[in-house]
Every structure is written in structure tokens, then in C-alpha cells.
Structure 1
Amino acid sequence: MPATQRRGRRIMMTPEELDVFLAEQRTCRVATVSADGRPHVSTLWFAWDGTSLWLYSITRSRRWTDLRRDPRIAVVVDTGEEYGELRGAELSGSVEFVGEAPRTGEPDPGLDEVERLFARKNFGLDAMPHDGRHAWMRLTPEAIASWDFRKLAAL
């Protein structure tokens, strides 16, 4: 179970709001730590299954290399233009690598549902296209912090 958010409780999302938010959003920013200790941030599409955030990354990327060496990660999903519209969540923990790497589409029952979800959400397809360059990582968050500045108007 993720750590409980202490600060900003008045504007944090309920678990139901967070599920809807993560299901609707497509893009996240992924922060990793490089071998030299410097942070690296990159952008990815993702899928949320209600428990875990699934990331489909190029296996020859700096992000993949960083996470193979040190699986600790922080991911931010956010939206909004004006201050009073800002909403988001930071999920952190360690990734697990799931399935073949790179993914060529070999049958893997453990990936069937997430690949269907990801393909529908991001490509409008019923089946996942595989290019032999990407592979799956799963983040089951150890901590989640969320915010919805639209709630400030009610305070």
C-alpha cells in the first residue's frame, strides 16, 4: 500500500479521482538517476491498471539503462494551464521489468490485459503493435502524492 500523503490533504485526489485521472491521461514524465548520479527526466505514454503504472520504453534508451542499474523511479502525470486548473500525481518506487526485452509479441498472458489497455488508449487499436525495440516496466507505487487545484475554489 502506498505511503499516505500528509501535506496538501485539502487538495489531494481521492482514490477514485486518482484512478479516473490516471486512466484519462496519456503522458507522464519519468525521473531516473544516471550512473554519474545526475537526474534524467524523459517523457513516455503509460497505462494505469488501477494498481500499477505500466511504462513501455525503448530498451536502448538512457532511461532503460538507468533503471536496469537502479530501478528507483519517480513519475509525474499532470495537466492544466491556469493555476486553478492544475491537477497531477507523483508516483514513486521501483520498477519491475516484465516480459521479453525487447518485446516482439511472443504470447505472454501476464501482458495481455495491459497491452490491450495501452493499445486502445494510445493507438485506438485492439491489439498492441510490437516493433522489437520496446519492453515493459511496471511501477507499483510505494508512495503517491496528488493535487487538484480546482478544489481550492471550494476552500
Structure 2
Amino acid sequence: MNQRGRIAMSEDEIAGLLRDARKLQLGTINPDGTPHLVTMFHGLDDGRVTFWTYAKSQKARNIDRDPRVSCLIETGDEYTQLRGVLVYGEARLIDDPGAVLEVGLDVTRRMTGMPVDGPEARGYVEHTARKRVAYVVEPVRVVSWDHRKLGDGSVPRISP
């Protein structure tokens, strides 16, 4: 097996990283074709990435024009500890107010690590949801890596 195959994550490992991570890097495509990258807190819907944003944001305008996105979640500071998942997909608009609120509640719950069932927290999310839209990312391709699987502690050599 090649090194790429050795470090690929299983579906359960991918699901675990998506579940445990709070933030991701979202890539959309600007009108001039350049990438637009932003850090987003995200939620999950049946294992698929969800997020919400203001309806007039650059990322929303980009997705309206071209729904192709990439979502990168990565962890680890040392080469031998790097783990990541890169989801290539299409962002599908969720504009039903009740569904937008549900995505917002999930994102807020995951973002804060606290319940959002109380009236104060829920009221805040309901208030901000009025100006937002949500998206679910329908995966087209998923790439993953877990350098801990190398097991030999090797770090690539860099020649001077």
C-alpha cells in the first residue's frame, strides 16, 4: 500500500473528526475565479456539513453564482499529528425560516459548547436567524489524512 493509502481515514474516523471539530475553512469561488476562504463554525445534518451566514455575505453571493465549495477541517501542530478531512461538494441553499433556525441552533450549540434551549440563547439565535440563510454541503468527493497512522515518527527531509 502506498503512503497515501496508509494515511487515509475510515468513514467512522472521518465522521468522528467532523463531529468533534467546531470550525472549518470554507472555500467558495469569487467572481474573478479566485478562492474566497473563511473560517466558519459548522453543524452537521446526517453527517453532512451545514453552516449559516448573512444572506448578503460574500460567501452567500459566491454560492448563489456557483454552488461548488470545499470544506477543510484539520487538526494537529506537528507533522506526525496532522489529521484532516477535505470535503468537496455543492452547497444547497436552505431558506425555510424554521430550517435556518435549526441550523443556527446546531451551529451555536457546537460553537459555544452549551445548550441553546433556554429562552435567552434561543431568542438570540431566533433574532439573528432573520437575516441569515443556511446551507448543507452535498459531498461530491472526500479526501482525508491521518499522519499518526505512519507510526514511524518520520518527518519528510528538507534539503538546504
Amino acid at match of 1:145: V
Q: When the two structures are superposed, what TM-score results if normalisation uses the length of structure 2? A: 0.79
* 1:153 Cα deviation after fit: 0.8
* 1:44 Cα deviation after fit: 0.5
Amino acid at match of 1:152: L
Residue pairs, 1:1-150, within 5 angstroms: 8-100=4-96, 106=97, 108=98, 110=99, 114-123=103-112, 124-127=114-117, 129-130=125-126, 131=128, 132-150=130-148
* 1:36 Cα deviation after fit: 1.3
Q: Identity, % of aligned pairs?
A: 25
- Runs of 4+ aligned residues of structure 1 deviating over 4 Å after TM superposition are 110-116
Highest CA radius of gyration, 1 or 2? 2
Give, in whole Å, the separation in 1 of the partners of 2:3 and 2:64: 32
User: Alpha carbon RMSD of aligned pairs, Å?
Assistant: 2.3
SS in 2 for 1:68: helix
Give, in whole Å, the separation in 2 of the partners of 1:52 and 1:63: 18
Contact 1:19 1:50 in 2 (8 A): no
Give, in whole Å, the separation in 2 of the partners of 1:61 and 1:112: 18
Give, in whole Å, the separation in 1 of the partners of 2:83 and 2:108: 25
Give, in whole Å, the separation in 1 of the partners of 2:83 and 2:13: 11
* 1:113 Cα deviation after fit: 5.8
* 1:50 Cα deviation after fit: 3.9
Give 5+ residue unaligned stretches, structure 2.
154-160
* 1:116 Cα deviation after fit: 4.6
Q: When the two structures are superposed, what TM-score results if normalisation uses the length of structure 1? A: 0.81
Greater helix share, 1 or 2? Answer: 2
* 1:137 Cα deviation after fit: 0.5
Contact 1:88 1:148 in 2 (8 A): yes
Contact 2:88 2:140 in 1 (8 A): yes
Q: How many residue pairs get matched?
A: 143
Give, in whole Å, the separation in 1 of the partners of 2:152 and 2:14: 19
Contact 1:12 1:148 in 2 (8 A): yes
Give, in whole Å, the separation in 1 of the partners of 2:28 and 2:89: 11
* 1:55 Cα deviation after fit: 1.2
